[in-house]
């Protein structure tokens, strides 16, 4: 075939979409049925001589040049054969993620602060202290008439108390709060409430765990200060209850701290006005003995004596003197039950007791009165005596240790007894040891004078009693003469 004719055929094939020789190298074109004897010049001339009107296919018949990467991809591969890129999954994922995240956050809101609601209380179980700011809490709860008055923000707490354990919660800061105990979240009434004493104590004497719900409420609506709680939850110390009283009979002394004890006892009538933590004791007295017990610190206490743990009232109590002395005049041993209670509800100071048993001695009781019929002076110390006698009506207001005296006054004589040391005492006169009232008493003058205007000898029974438990020396000047 003529070279020009061959070139024209190639062009026509390319235009018609058929496979042309341009997909092959120059060698393939040369290997045609008719050997190409035309020189390179003739071939160039034939290509340049393509008639007008036909497209210039010179570039198409040139050998295919590999690209820089070495891949021999033909330059005339149709665009439609290139594989489409994968779908843009980043665009699809981002909107979903962003929308879900925003929707979840706005719907759920911030977490509830523990203590802000009864349903989300602060769990005090296992804690020793807790501190928070009232400014972080709201004022959404109001107690009913069974709750002490308060109108401020509140913080809710819960604690699980095991059988036999003692829960003690106290607000130990300076913020004025009221403590309430409620039975459940749905109530506004209080099982217990305290304003002045910011301390709660609970002994679980049941056989099952008990859940205690507490509300610490600011007294004033504007209060936003700090609340600090001291928490104890565990087995109580011996002496915390009457059923677990400490046996002090074999001890000479005992020392403890009210901060380790609780106010679990509601004192019945006749037991004084103590309102703080209490410590219970027991002791066995021998027949014919005097049992003496005294609190020796500056802590204000009340000592109350009961016949038993189930007693509805106290046999006696000692507030100002803070000492107990009992004589067992029976022929058998006697068991004593008594409680030493702090006067103030928030008391956490020390308590220290000294006790002992002794036989009656001269001057310790009416039956062992000191005879001063012929004496001109007598000296002693109230600290060596005991307070066994409770003054009946008409005997003044002394409440300390006493010293008993007796004198025989002949007809026409005047008996005088004067205390000269300045120790605060009251001189009291009784008709007999069993009298239920005094014939007379001398307080501010501290000098007694009794004239026998009768025809027979007069027996005078007197006692010199310390006004308080502070004790002190006593020095008497005595006369028994006829004017």
Q: How confident is the model at residue 323 (pLDDT cuts 50, 70, 90)?
A: confident
Please give the pLDDT value at position 394. Answer: 83
Please give the pLDDT value at position 157. Answer: 98
Q: How confident is the model at residue 186 (pLDDT cuts 50, 70, 90)?
A: confident
Across all residues in the chain, what is the average pLDDT?
82
Query: How far are the Cα atoms of 119, 454, 460, 461 from residue 446, in angstroms, in the given order?
Result: 68, 25, 16, 16
Of 68-82, 152-166, 385-399, 419-433, the least confident: 68-82
Decide: 47 and 5 in contact? Cβ < 8 Å.
Answer: no
From CA 238, how far away is CA 252, in angstroms rounded?
18
From CA 77, how far away is CA 5, in angstroms rounded?
26
Q: Environment class of residue 200 by beta-carbon count within 10 Å: exposed (0-12), middle (13-18) or buried (19+)?
A: buried
**Higher per-residue pLDDT: 462 or 78:** 462
User: Residue 161: which of 133, 188, 181 has the closest Cα?
Assistant: 181
**Higher per-residue pLDDT: 203 or 71:** 203
Per-residue pLDDT at 344 exceeds 60: yes
Q: How confident is the model at residue 110 (pLDDT cuts 50, 70, 90)?
A: low
Q: How confident is the model at residue 29 (pLDDT cuts 50, 70, 90)?
A: very low
Tens of pLDDT, residue by residue over 59-94, are: 444 444 444 444 444 445 454 555 555 655 554 544
Cα angle 374, 380, 385 (rounded to 5 degrees) comes to 115
Token pair recorded at residue 46: 């034939």
Token pair recorded at residue 281: 């004791």
Q: How confident is the model at residue 267 (pLDDT cuts 50, 70, 90)?
A: confident
Token pair recorded at residue 138: 């709201």
What Rg, from alpha-carbon coordinates, does the chain have?
54
Q: Which of 208-217, 262-271, 338-347 holds the top average pLDDT?
A: 208-217
Per-residue pLDDT at 274 exceeds 50: yes
Per-residue pLDDT at 256 exceeds 60: yes
From CA 204, how far away is CA 211, in angstroms rounded?
10
Tens of pLDDT, residue by residue over 368-384, are: 999 999 999 999 999 99
Per-residue pLDDT at 96 exceeds 60: no
Q: What average pLDDT does range 393-402 have in this prediction?
A: 86
Per-residue pLDDT at 442 exceeds 60: yes
**Higher per-residue pLDDT: 250 or 300:** 300
Q: Is 425 helix (H, G, I), strand (E, B) or coil?
A: strand
Q: How confident is the model at residue 402 (pLDDT cuts 50, 70, 90)?
A: very high
Q: Is 247 helix (H, G, I), strand (E, B) or coil?
A: strand
Per-residue pLDDT at 459 exceeds 60: yes
What is the sign, positive or negative, of the torsion defined by CA atoms of 387, 390, 396, 398? Answer: positive
Q: What average pLDDT does range 326-354 have in this prediction?
A: 92
Could you count the other beta carbons within 10 Å of the beta carbon of residue 313? Answer: 13
Backbone angles phi and psi of 392, in degrees to 5: -80, -175
Tens of pLDDT, residue by residue over 11-21, are: 444 444 444 33
Per-residue pLDDT at 54 exceeds 50: no
């Amino acid at each position: 075939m003529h070279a020009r004719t061959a070139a024209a055929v190639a062009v026509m094939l390319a235009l018609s979409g058929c496979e042309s020789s341009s997909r092959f190298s120059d060698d393939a074109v040369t290997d045609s049925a008719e050997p190409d004897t035309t020189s390179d010049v003739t071939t160039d001339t034939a290509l340049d001589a393509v008639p007008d009107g036909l497209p210039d296919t010179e570039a198409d018949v040139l050998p295919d040049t590999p690209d820089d990467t070495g891949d021999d991809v033909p330059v005339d591969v149709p665009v439609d054969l290139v594989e489409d890129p994968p779908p843009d999954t980043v665009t699809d994922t981002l909107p979903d993620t962003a929308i879900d995240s925003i929707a979840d956050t706005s719907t759920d809101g911030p977490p509830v602060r523990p203590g802000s609601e009864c349903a989300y209380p602060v769990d005090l179980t296992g804690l020793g202290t807790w501190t928070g700011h009232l400014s972080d809490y709201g004022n959404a709860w109001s107690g009913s008439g069974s709750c002490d008055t308060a109108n401020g923000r509140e913080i809710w707490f819960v604690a699980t108390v095991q059988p036999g354990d003692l829960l003690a919660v106290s607000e130990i800061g300076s913020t004025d709060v009221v403590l309430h105990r409620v039975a459940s979240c749905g109530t506004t009434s209080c099982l217990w409430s305290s304003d002045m004493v910011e301390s709660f104590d609970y002994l679980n004497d049941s056989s099952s765990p008990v859940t205690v719900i507490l509300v610490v409420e600011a007294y004033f609506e504007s209060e936003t200060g700090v609340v600090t709680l001291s928490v104890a939850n565990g087995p109580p110390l011996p002496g915390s209850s009457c059923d677990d009283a400490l046996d002090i009979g074999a001890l000479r002394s005992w020392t403890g701290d009210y901060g380790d004890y609780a106010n679990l006892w509601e004192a019945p009538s006749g037991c004084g006005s103590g309102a703080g933590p209490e410590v219970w004791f027991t002791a066995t007295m021998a027949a014919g003995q005097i049992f003496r017990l005294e609190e020796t610190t500056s802590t204000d206490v009340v000592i109350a004596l009961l016949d038993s743990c189930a007693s509805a009232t106290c046999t006696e109590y000692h507030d100002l003197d803070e000492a107990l002395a009992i004589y067992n005049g029976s022929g058998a041993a006697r068991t004593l039950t008594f409680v030493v209670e702090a006067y103030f509800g928030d008391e956490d100071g020390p308590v220290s007791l000294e006790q002992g048993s002794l036989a009656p001695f001269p001057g310790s009781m009416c039956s062992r009165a000191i005879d001063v019929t012929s004496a001109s002076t007598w000296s002693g110390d109230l600290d060596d005596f005991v307070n066994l006698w409770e003054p009946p009506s008409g005997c003044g207001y002394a409440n300390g240790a006493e010293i008993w005296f007796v004198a025989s006054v002949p007809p026409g004589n005047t008996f005088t007894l004067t205390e000269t040391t300045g120790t605060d005492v009251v001189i009291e006169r009784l008709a007999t040891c069993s009298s239920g009232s005094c014939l007379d008493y001398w307080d501010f003058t501290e000098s007694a004078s009794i004239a026998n205007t009768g025809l027979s000898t007069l027996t005078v029974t007197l006692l010199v009693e310390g006004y308080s438990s502070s004790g002190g020396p006593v020095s008497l000047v005595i006369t028994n003469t006829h004017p």
